[in-house]
Amino acid sequence: MLFSVKARAIANLEFAHENLLEMLADFPADRYTAQLPGAPNHALWTVGHLATGYLWFGGAAGLAMPALPDSYDGLFGYGSVPVADPLKYPAMAEVRSYADKAFAAMVLGANRLTDAELAAPPAVDTGGFVSDRLAAIEKAAWHEGWHAGQIAMLRRALGLGKA
């Protein structure tokens, strides 16, 4: 059975997201901000960063996206620097809730886009990173997979094994 390009892009996004969730399922709460030398991302920052990423990619695709707390861009957005101090961050449950809502809004909105809308230029200036609205969905999947790979390496280094 052949999939539409939209269905395939959304399926790839969902696959990457499910993979990340699997890696986080048994992640110990006391290790949420554990960092490795030379690879400073940690689980809590990654979840918050993906929440801000969904809003960015969703905005590029012209989707209605939920708001995040004002502090999230500075804590988790592009150019933010993860720190090991858990007191610098909201609780994982809160961050995860916002990330889950943003992901769900992205998938719901992406499913509603028509072929003409998918082919349209990005709804916001992306500096050339996204060529059209379909590419916003595709690159959101790539972004999630990129960060899932970092969590996979972190899991291994912390002795948590494969998810």
Residue range 22-41, pLDDT digits in tens? 999 999 999 999 998 887 89
pLDDT above 70 coverage of the chain, percent: 98
How does residue 70 score in pLDDT terms, banded at 50, 70 and 90? very high
Task: Tell which wins on pLDDT, 157 or 3.
Answer: 157
Q: Is residue 6 part of a domain?
A: no
pLDDT at 2 over 80: no
Q: Is residue 8 part of a domain?
A: no
Which residues constitute the domain of residue 89? 20-157
Residue range 105-122, pLDDT digits in tens? 999 999 999 999 999 999
pLDDT of residue 15: 97
How does residue 163 score in pLDDT terms, banded at 50, 70 and 90? low
pLDDT of residue 39: 79
pLDDT at 161 over 60: yes
Q: Is residue 11 part of a domain?
A: no
Mean pLDDT of 53-63: 98
What is the total count of domains within the chain? 1
Which residue, 7, 14, 41, 5, is CA-closest to 140? 14
Q: Are 149 and 20 in contact (CB under 8 A)?
A: no
Axis crossing angle, helix 43-60 with helix 92-112, rounded to the nearest 10: 30
pLDDT of residue 37: 85
Q: Is residue 1 part of a domain?
A: no
Q: CATH no. for residue 105?
A: 1.20.120.450
Q: Is residue 24 part of a domain?
A: yes
Rg over alpha carbons for the chain, rounded to the nearest Å, is 16
Cα(16)–Cα(33) distance, integer angstroms: 21
Q: What is the overall mean pLDDT for the chain? A: 95
pLDDT of residue 38: 81
pLDDT at 1 over 60: no
Q: Are 96 and 70 in contact (CB under 8 A)?
A: no
Q: Is residue 145 part of a domain?
A: yes
**The residue to which tokens 């960060």 are assigned:** 147
Claim: this prediction has a pTM higher than 0.75: yes
Q: Is residue 2 part of a domain?
A: no
pLDDT at 50 over 70: yes
Q: Is residue 130 part of a domain?
A: yes
